[in-house]
Amino acid sequence: MSVKSLLSVVAVAALLQGCVAAAVVGVVGGASVATDNRSLGNQIDDQKIEIDAHAKLAASEALSDNTNLQVVSVNGSVLVVGQAPNSYLRDQAIKILNDINGVKQLHNQIRISNTTAFTTKTNDVWLTSKVKTALFSSDELDATNIKVVTENGEVFLMGLVTKSQANNAVDIARNVGGVNRVFKIFEYID
């Protein structure tokens, strides 16, 4: 096989692999929307809250240049995690988030400190993936109803679940290697 043919095969395989990944994301995303305990309207509202939050935080040069913030919304309950170098910037971010239409409750988990290093962020992504995998492996809960957010080794669990499912999720997350602490930010449906 010539080098040109080999490169063509590799390029096509790479393109197809991207299509497979997109198909998997589409199927899982579609299944997640279908099995989510939130109404479709609430799911759309949560996405709008997150988009508005990111846009408004990014519009503030002081916040975008000096903080590391992540915003997640579930049923109007908003979690903000990350770091700000001082209480003034933290309070400015909280004020912006509280003014967003649709925010029912704000969970402020902004730490006053330097922003986390790239290696810490990479580890947080790895921990989120490990926790989600452990949750999906459980027969006792529907992991599609649980959002996992990890910041600096701390895991935040959000979603609309029963109290039993919440306790199971916390026990599972707590036993994943590398998790320093688990926070429950659930809304209960029972």
The amino acid sitting at 187 is E
Select from 3.90.180.10, 3.30.1340.30, 3.40.50.720, 3.30.70.120 the CATH code of 118-188: 3.30.1340.30
Q: What are phi and psi of 36, to 5 degrees?
A: -65, 140
Decide which of 4 and 123 is more confident: 123
Map out the domains of the chain as residue ranges: 1-35, 40-112, 118-188
Percent of all residues in the chain with a pLDDT value above 90, rounded to a whole number: 75
CATH topology of domain 40-112: Histidine-containing Protein; Chain: A; (3.30.1340)
Quote the tokens at residue 141. 């809960």
| Sign of the four-CA dihedral 74, 147, 118, 108 | positive
Single out the residue of 180, 189, 144, 174 nearest to residue 30, CA to CA: 144
pTM over 0.85: no
pLDDT at site 101: 95
| Mean pLDDT in residue range 112-121 | 94
In tens, the pLDDT along 2-16 reads 545 544 544 444 445
21 DSSP assignment: H
In tens, the pLDDT along 74-97 reads 999 999 999 999 999 999 999 999
* Contact assessment for residue 182 and residue 155, using Cβ atoms and an 8 Å cutoff: yes
